[in-house]
Amino acid sequence: MSHNATESVESFRARARAWLAENMPRLGDRPQSGTGEDDTHEWERARELQQRLYAGGFAGICFPEEYGGLGLTSAHQEAFTEESGGYEMPLLLNVPSFAICSATLLDTGSEEQKRARIGAAIRGEEVLCQLLSEPSGGSDLAGLITRAERDGDEWVLNGAKTWSTSAYAADWGLCLARTNWDVPKHQGLTMFLVPLKAPGLTLNRVRMVNGSLEFCEEFFDDVRLPASAVVGEVDGGWTVASRQLFHERNAVGGGSPYVSGEGGMRATPHPNPLDMARASGRAADPRVRELVGEYLALKTVHEQTVGRVTRAMATEVLPPAASSLLRLLHAEYAHLSDDHTVRIAGAGIATGAGTEPGATGYAATGFLMRQGVSLGGGSTEIARNIVSERLLGMPREPAPDRGVPFNQVKRGS
């Protein structure tokens, strides 16, 4: 359907409100999901809901029309997200498929890649994921050793990746590999679009401490890719990856314009301090009220900062590196929320006593993954480095491999 890019936000909001009431299921009509191993139905449901959004003309709100979106502004997206608050939404597709991978292709992909992959994602036909981190890489993404070698008109991919969010449910992955070992590490990388069902690719799910199987590891054994799989330029993969990391930090920090709907990826509750104060019957306790007040204050600061920094980046008042501010503040806010929730629950966090059924169980499970927000989108230490060096102009930390050809860099012990 044709969309009017000049439609006012209020007109769009009114149309969205009426359409949502007529077409999308209300929250609470479906049972809450847990961390079970077989979540195929959740992904099928997400794709179905995305297809509904597309058919109704409310999918890909901020993506250009030529790639299947609506070509509207972030204000239109915010209005739709506010109106969709009480409805079931395909939140599983927000991160990384839309907010990171599709956004990266929009900035750096070929015309063919944009039309094929972004369009399919918006229509609910395909899911995208990231294939970046490696078992031996730690936080040094540019030091990766997964390699892609040219063989005629094809590339042959070998190596391993890990911590790939929802790769098991994805159709395509953005995979960073080394294509030149004779130049410094950042200069010899290339980004590829890899089909997750490619021959030679083995994928395993990784069980987390809370029972979740959200993350995956992948092994590439002579996976053959066409020349058209290259995203950006050969040996120019760090430029693509840098833009990808920007979108990841923006998404994790809450500033992405490509996220539609509110809440976590899954329907499993994650109580906050206010929820726990009510569930435990301690809302009148002065100390509990202090903890809840501190949480609500930082929540407001986080929300206001997201808006301010996002607007500043959009108008180039702040550089893209400012997305690390959002990433950093999000981790601080999430940590405080989890910590205060546990403090309010008290001994009940272990026994389940003295609260509404399930409340402390969900809080305890969430607390087990507390450190995850310090790692997603790059570690908190990296975020602090980026803020200090690229925003505040402080001296860069020493790097003994800077400017050294990668085949001369010592690795291991």
CATH number of the CATH domain containing 223 = 2.40.110.10
How far, CA to CA in Å, does 20 sit from each of 148, 167, 336? Answer: 46, 30, 34
Torsion of CA 128, 130, 131, 134, to 10 degrees: -160
Same-domain status, 47 and 28: yes
One domain, residues 169 and 223: yes
Q: What is the pLDDT of residues 263-294, one digit of tens each?
A: 655 556 788 999 999 988 999 999 999 999 99
pLDDT of residue 2: 44
> Among residues 127, 153, 171, which one ends one of the domains?
127
Residue 1 covered by a domain:
no
- Residue 112 falls inside a structural domain: yes
* 134 in the same domain as 116: no
pTM: 0.89
pLDDT at residue 210 in the model: 79
User: What pLDDT was estimated at residue 1?
Assistant: 41
Q: Which of 391, 394, 37, 406 is nearest to 207 (CA)?
A: 37
In a domain, 397, yes or no: no
- Tell me, yes or no, whether 262 lies in a domain: no
Rounded-to-integer distance, Cα 133 and Cα 276, Å = 35
Q: Provide the residue range defining the domain that includes 221.
A: 130-244
Classify 361 as helix, strand or coil.
helix
Answer with the one of 102, 127, 152 that is the final residue of a domain: 127
- Judge whether residue 70 has pLDDT over 90: yes
Rounded Cα gap, residues 22 and 35, in angstroms: 31
Q: Does residue 251 fall inside a structural domain? A: no
The reply to whether 118 and 136 lie within a common domain is no
* Domain end point (choices 127, 161, 195): 127
Residues 60 and 110 occupy one common structural domain: yes
Is 118 found in the same domain as 60?
yes
Domain count, the chain: 3
Tell whether 169 and 202 lie within a shared domain.
yes
Answer yes or no: are the C-beta atoms of 289 and 300 closer than 8 Å. no
My answer on whether 163 and 119 are in the same domain is no
Residue 167 has pLDDT above 80, yes or no: yes
**In this structure, is residue 398 part of a structural domain?**
no
Q: Give the Cα separation of 354 and 254 in Å (integer).
A: 34
Both tokens of 155, joined, read 């590339």
Distance separating the N- and C-terminal Cα atoms of the chain: 59
Return mean pLDDT, the chain: 91
Residue 377 within any structural domain of the chain: yes
- Please state whether the peptide bond connecting residue 96 to the residue before it is cis, i.e. omega within 30 degrees of 0: yes
Chain segment 82-111, per-residue pLDDT in tens = 999 999 999 999 999 999 999 999 999 999
**Crossing angle for the helix pair 9-23 and 40-56, to the nearest 10 degrees:** 130
Cα–Cα distance for residue pair 324/250, rounded to 1 Å: 8
Question: Domain check: are 116 and 165 in the same one?
Answer: no
Same domain, 44 and 137: no
CATH code of residue 307? 1.20.140
- The reply to whether 279 and 230 lie within a common domain is no
Residue 404: inside a domain, yes or no?
no
Q: Reduced to 3 states, what is the DSSP secondary structure of residue 87? A: strand
The whole-angstrom distance between residue 126's C-alpha and the CA centroid of its chain comes to 16
110 and 143 housed in the same domain:
no
Per-residue pLDDT tens for 3-20?
556 799 999 999 999 999
Buried b (16+ CB within 10 A) or exposed e, 186-215: bbbbbbbbbebeeeebebebeeeeeebbbb
Position 51 scores a pLDDT of 98
Whether the CB-CB separation of 12 and 79 falls below 8 Å is answered with: yes
378-405 tens-digit pLDDT:
889 999 999 999 999 999 988 899 999 9
Tell how strand 201-206 and strand 189-195 pair up.
Answer: unpaired
CA 153 from centroid of its chain's CA atoms: 33
